[in-house]
Amino acid sequence: MLQQVNGHSSGPNAHGGELREDLQEFLGQDAPLHLLDDLTKVNPVTLETVLRCLQARYMADTFYTNAGCTLVALNPFKPVPQLYLPELMKEYHAAPQPQKLKPHIFTVGEQTYRNVKSLIEPVNQSIVVSGESGAGKTWTSRSLMKFYAVVAASPTSWESHKIAERIEQRILNSNPVMEAFGNACTLRNNNSSRFGKFIQLQLNRAQQMTGAAVQTYLLEKTRVACQASSERNFHIFYQICKGASVEERLQWHLPEGATFSWLPNPERTLEEDCFEVTREAMLHLGIDTPTQNNIFKVLAGLLHLGNVRFADSSDEAQPCQLMDDAKCSVRTLASLLCLPEDPLLETLQIRTIRAGRQQQVFRKPCSQAECDTRRDCLAKLVYARLFDWLVSVINSSICAEPNSWTTFIGLLDVYGFESFPDNSLEQLCINYANEKLQQHFVAHYLRAQQEEYTVEGLEWSFVNYQDNQTCLDLIEGSPISICSLINEECRLNRPSSAAQLQTRIESALAGSPCLGHNKLSREPSFIVVHYAGPVRYYTAGLVEKNKDPIPPELTRLLQQSQDPLLKVLFPTEEKSQEEPSSQSRTPVLTVVSKFKASLEQLLQVLHGTTPHYIRCIKPNSQGQAQTFLLEEVLSQLEACGLVETIHISAAGFPIRVSHQNFVERYGLLRRLHPHTSPGPYSPFPDEGHSGWSPHAKEAMLQPLLQDILHTLPALTQAATPGDPAEAMPASVHCGKTKVFMTDSTLEVLERGRAQVLEQCARCIQGGWRRYRHRKQERQRQAAVLIQAAIRSWLTRRHIQRLHTAATVIKRAWQKWRIRMAFLASKELDDVEEKHLFQAPCSLSSFPLPQAQTRLLGAIIRLWPLGLVLANAAMGVRGFQRKLVVWACLQLPTSSPSSYTIQTIQEQAGVASIRALPQGSIKFHCRKSPLRYADICPEPSSYSVTGFNQILLERHRLGHV
């Protein structure tokens, strides 16, 4: 046997020289051992070669390794935060093939998540996390819950996002609460689960997490009142003692430096002693602060209950008296639990007995041992009820409505296999549960798969494996087993003897190979050879623990409490099960019977799911990092049957699909076969032919199966074009009712299916795009015609409006021009200028050039324009201006020098150019009827302000 301490091996090989040669050949391979991420690639597959691979990977800080259908998880015993980042979770979730990535628990989580939404067989999934105590099962389950909380939440709307976020937070917050109240520090693990739990993560049709449900098994409530050496009580007691504030200490009567007998090793500080994390998690679960304070007050009362000690009474007729230092503890206990002090003390000291047909009541003082037992029973009863109430609160907070979820993923985290120096009923139940889970693995994978190969007609040579059915028959078999003998001792109304129970077990079960004997032991005990190793169980106190008697007076006492929490835990209408009537006395369920029933219920749930296995391995029992003890790891590998699992996984076919489901999913691969017509076929032979026999259906499916399987060589060659050796047909076998194949074959089929779907999608896309293009072209042509018609109509309407507007403007302009001409002629006709008629002017008397004569004629015809030009600031200059003035005023041209035109600005009055100086002047000052005639358009000194004020200037211009 190999031996190793801290990575250095010593000792000869105990398996012969042939195995040593194989091992040397294996160790001399070119590839480093730590790069073998799948143990099925190890050649040869032996315990030593598997052990060497795990050791090399552990020393290289690689803690996860595939072993066929199982994932091996080595406990690193140190924080490795980079292995559990949310980014890494999303990477495994988004990967097309997560199995191609490095082995991880996220690979198992993603595989279960994809199987839930699988189109072939969407069935419920379960993950069984197994291993010894301290192997890392609790951490693995916690990390898987975080993974599902990240990947199983993709809501679209903001409101649904908030709801999903709240559900995920509550599910994750259930872990700290349950670990605080259900985990404790043991010899092998600082955070050992002292109960089993099955977490059901509920998913809706869109594969989104809508809720969860927690089912617990066998809480180790005896730890409240009894702790082994170097172990601790539940974490919550240390949390309230270390994390309470000054006010809370006064309220809960927990002074600094106080010692409690039920709080051993308080000086040890663990990572789990974080009170604020527990309080915040309880707050998120809906447990408000007053209820939390009430819970912690009851727990503080249980700590004070542990300090209640009795002195042995010399007189059996007198009850045992309290120790001197216990009186204060009773007073504090009664105050914290809101119980009357005297009835509380009397219940612990005096036992009530009902005897006779009339059920007469007798009161008998208890001995010191009985008083201690009743005290411990009171603590266990309160704590067990409190734990169950917390589980119900958690379920009510995180559980979804039955119609809101369709499938689930189950996480099973149970206590690991335990073997302590002193083992009792708790260890027997724990190891019994591990035996059942090991049998589930054996029955589901090692045995069932090989038997299925034979039934389906595959050529298969059986792989030997360790079957633990013999051990299970010893523990739970019928008609005689260890459990049945213990229950029979409980039913017999007589004092139980430890030696007598040992004798009965050894004599009744002497023929079982799994029952051992230890003749050197002084105390009565028996040995059970489990799959993980032999364990010795002491029979002393075994029957009493199995009875788990609860005195009815204790229940009645707690029903009298005025504490709000205890009123909920112990309602007054509850009837004690320990008080059966005389007419119908039914046997009370024992601890073993209740645990066996709950375990059977759990296995029924597991059998209805597709299981996945994670084997947690503890590299060493000291909890040290980078320390790999070969002997300890080797015993764990032998116990869980890992080598046999690797053999079957390497040679077997983990993927099995029924013929009909296979044809339904991969029937479209017939399109890739050149000799097969991709004509239509019906994957449902029973449609319309309900009377067909199964043989007829199988006969119709066989040609389709053969057509699909004929495409595998081409698919495999297309997958590996560079290596013709790997282009051989994939390993696949067609059984009588199922198709068996390996993971590589499934990948090839899925790749070919994706290729055909891509071709079909491209064909559909091409047809759709062609149809859409034609439709768009027709729509474009129609739009052009409509646009042309609308534009022509708009143009015609615009031109018509322009014609109408032009006609209106033209008519208005003509009317205005006629009116202006009429007004101007009327204004000029009203002026009396008689001297002009007496001396008519003649153009011929004043000789002018021909050009000027033409200009003068034009000016005379257009006299208004001549008036404006004569008074303009910029216009005709010099001689032409003088002609304009003469022509406009129609002056005689005989002697032009005799007339002087001037403006008078400095003199008062107005001078007009229409009157001659020597004649009479008639000044026309009537307002002009022309519109805007009296308004100056521009503030210029030379501007014309009206026809009646032309040439009126304020400055002298001189002679023209």
Q: What residue numbers does the annotated binding site for ATP cover?
A: 131-138
Longest dimension (CA), the chain: 177
- Give the end-to-end CA distance of the chain in Å, rounded to a whole number: 145
User: Does residue 160 contact residue 430 with C-beta atoms inside 8 Å?
Assistant: no
Distances (CA, A) of 599 to 89, 221, 272, 953: 32, 18, 29, 126
- For residue 560, count other CB atoms closer than 10 A to its CB: 15
User: Which token pair is 653?
Assistant: 């076919």
Report the C-alpha gap between 431 and 659 in whole angstroms.
41
Amino acid identity for residue 181 in this structure = F
Annotated binding site: 131-138
- Mapping DSSP onto H, E and C, the string for 103-154 reads CCHHHHHHHHHHHHCCCCCCCCEEEEEEEECCCCHHHHHHHHHHHHHHHCCC
User: Does residue 603 contact residue 439 with C-beta atoms inside 8 Å?
Assistant: no
- Mapping DSSP onto H, E and C, the string for 891-910 reads CCCCCHHHCCCCCCCCCCCC
User: Does residue 39 contact residue 66 with C-beta atoms inside 8 Å?
Assistant: yes
Pairing of strands 360-365, 70-74: unpaired
Four-point Cα dihedral 807, 813, 814, 816, nearest 10: 140
Query: DSSP 3-state assignment of 377?
Result: helix
User: Does residue 196 contact residue 216 with C-beta atoms inside 8 Å?
Assistant: yes
| CA atoms 912, 916, 919, 922: torsion sign | negative
| CA atoms 464, 466, 470, 476: torsion sign | negative
Nearest to 896 by CA among 816, 959, 941, 944: 959
User: Which token pair is 696?
Assistant: 């007829």
Report the C-alpha gap between 29 and 8 in whole angstroms.
20
Report the C-alpha gap between 493 and 550 in whole angstroms.
16
Place of tokens 């495994």: 92
How many CA atoms lie less than 13 Å away from 299 in the CB half-sphere?
25
The DSSP code for 319 is: P
Helix (H) or strand (E) holding 598: helix 591-607
Distances (CA, A) of 591 to 422, 491, 543: 19, 13, 10
Report the C-alpha gap between 499 and 560 in whole angstroms.
41
Cis before 44 (ω within 30): yes
Amino acid identity for residue 656 in this structure = R
